[in-house]
Amino acid sequence: MTPTLTFDIESIPDIAGLRHLHDLPESLADAEVAEFAFQKQRAKNGSDFLPLHLQRVVVISCALRNDEGFRVWSLAEPKSGEGEIIQRFFDGVAKYTPNLVSWNGGGFDLPVLHYRGLIHGVTAARYWDLGEDDRDFKWNNYISRYHTRHLDLMDLLAMYQPRANAPLDQLVKLMGLPGKLGMDGGAVWGAWLDGQIDAIRDYCETDVVNTYLVYLRFQKMRGNLTPAAHEKEVAVVRDHLAALDAAHWREFLAAWPA
């Protein structure tokens, strides 16, 4: 089978970058630097959501389905720095040439990885191939919005109309899936300041599994999986999570009725 790699990132304000761009003193606490940036952003457009190039990646969670089975893992701080996290993600793309699956990956995750990858000198030749090295990539590549080598489920299901976008958490709960457990994206910065790095990673991992389960349901909807094949694939995910000795997966399974 063609490998499928579902991914999700979590990010925080790029404090070092904000200090540099605004000539802020080192004596200013990280939270104060972020609040300075939030206030400037609110004054500009009414939202404290920072531009994508100022989003520092702290976690990339992945769910890989291939001939060897299904597994979930994260590339995350503090074990790895931002540059290494991003490089290892694109190295995985080069190794497996998977079909990428995301929820709003085209609108957020991938542009963030592009900008932050440039900052850190990341190389990603396979990802950026538009047919120069592999002719198949001319007609189906990771960059085009309308190709399936990267499937942004949120974008596609909304027919590429932003006003039709659905929140992942609400959609998966309506589908009978667990949804977000204990955290959402707006809480990540506060959790980071409190030192809850593991909680951020766990949250990102549950998000990526929710996204993969939506993908499986979509594959059933479009006729690529029969109902029996869909149930088999769901069972593969459930069995893998049940074998993992981690509290967030126990909570996830408890919220996911068989």
Give the model confidence (pLDDT) of 168-192 as tens digits: 999 999 999 999 887 877 899 999 9
Q: Which pLDDT score, from 0 to 100, does residue 186 have? A: 85
Q: Is the pTM of this model over 0.85?
A: yes
18-54 confidence digits (pLDDT tens)? 999 999 999 999 999 999 999 999 999 999 999 999 9
At 98, which CATH number? 3.30.420.10
Count up the domains in the chain and report the number.
1
Q: What is the reported pLDDT for 185?
A: 79
Question: Which residues of 43-169 form beta strands (DSSP E)?
Answer: 55-66, 69-76, 99-102, 150-152
- Per the CB < 8 A criterion, the answer to whether 86 and 60 are in contact is yes
φ/ψ of residue 130, rounded to 5? -115, 20
Report whether 237 contacts 229 (CB < 8 A).
no
The Cα diameter of the chain in Å comes to 60
Residues of the chain with pLDDT under 50: none
Its domain, for residue 83, covers 4-170+177-254
Indicate the residue type of 50.
L
Q: What is the pLDDT of residue 90?
A: 98
- pLDDT of 254: 96
CA 258 to CA 242: how far, in whole Å? 12
Cα–Cα distance, 64 to 54 (Å, whole number):
28
pLDDT of residue 184: 79
Q: Residue 247's closest CA among 177, 182, 169, 171?
A: 182
Cα–Cα dist 24/188, whole Å = 23
Residue 202: what pLDDT?
A: 96
